[in-house]
A and B are shown apart, each in its own frame.
Chain A
């Protein structure tokens, strides 16, 4: 009736929080909370997009296993133990929220580190193959996954960049989505985020590499002087 994409009103959400078989692994990673956020733009600048696009974030609040360990501590063992579980858990939620792997066109990732941790701790959980390679494979991607990170208080929003999952330079798919968990991260927690979108910005019209004219400082001399 109001132009809602079927994804928003049909089956996928009913399986959103199944998959209970991983409960033990999830408990061991210090998981406190999961938050899934999804947005669908029905109208932008007064006009409906060519097709409705959904953006979603899946955020896991986990205990920071490295608080108090110092700047020379080897992070690798905990990365291998925790990051793959997060990759599976968060991509499962994204896939359910967005209507399947094939629906996902763009992706991004993020880490928000509580004030007792290092940014390095967030990077450890999102920037190694134990998270990134798995996320890419689970979402059917090929591109490097773009990211944002921050050390922040509970409730601080973070803007997460997304780009195309198989052709990162696809300009129409450069977009962002904001993630925020009201009561996380606490000082000794991390918020780890996987984000994705089912399409482009609402009205993409800034061309692409294939349509760009040649641009050099010499060609633009009259503008630059």
Chain B
């Protein structure tokens, strides 16, 4: 894995809808900018070897960093792969849609659900939203949320941005009825 850059973002919301949020709502994102493992190779039919070389390493790099940035237990989480313009979305999907990647985060966060994800292709500076859901029950409506990310100079055309997001709570001022009330 050829790593160029690590970006960490922590957002802390103190008021929402004009009312105080206490404790402040925290969401953390850690993104790694790496070279696309399949860059300059044309159409690669079998992505397996590249996935095996990279997915676990990047998962094990990012998982502890995002939990450290959050500075507390994660209640919701999500992931992202943003592919530079020369790559296929399939390349980003290959890196994050494998247990080799996600299990590092699940284990570190004591989580059980699948990670919601965004996969997208675009230029450096593209804005992307990472969806987050509850770490043990994806039907918990209070924890459905997104966090928006932008890295000014990534991904380059032959790069992929791989990111993890973690939230310490649900939405600020969450007050929707639970899913079960509609069943």
Contact = CB atoms under 8 A, between A and B. Distances in A.
B68 A13 contact: yes
A43 B6 CA distance: 10
A179 to B, nearest CB: 9
A177 to B, nearest CB: 8
Contacts of B68: 9, 13-14
B7 A37 contact: yes
B174 interface: no
Interface string B1-27: 111111111111111100010001010
B69 interface: yes
A200 B30 CA distance: 23
A31 B68 CA distance: 24
B152 interface: yes
Given A2-B1, A2-B3, A8-B65, A17 B10 contact: yes
B11 A14 contact: no
Contact of B20 (A27, A38, A41, A155): A27
A39 B6 contact: yes
Interface in A93-121: 97
B14 A32 contact: yes
A197 B1 CA distance: 26
The prevalent SS among residues of B at the interface is strand
Contacts of A159: 152
Nearest to A40: B6
B26 A17 contact: yes
B60 to A, nearest CB: 8
B14 A35 contact: no
B165 to A, nearest CB: 13
Given A13-B69, A40-B7, A183-B148, 13 more contacts: A2-B61, A8-B6, A16-B71, A17-B26, A27-B14, A31-B14, A32-B14, A32-B15, A32-B16, A34-B24, A38-B8, A159-B152, A178-B152
27 contacts: A1-B61, A2-B1, A2-B57, A3-B3, A4-B6, A13-B68, A13-B71, A16-B10, A17-B10, A27-B14, A32-B16, A33-B11, A35-B11, A36-B9, A36-B10, A37-B8, A38-B8, A39-B5, A39-B7, A39-B151, A41-B5, A42-B3, A43-B3, A44-B4, A155-B127, A157-B125, A157-B150
Interface of A: 1-4, 8-9, 13-14, 16-17, 26-27, 31-44, 97, 155, 157, 159, 178, 180, 182-183
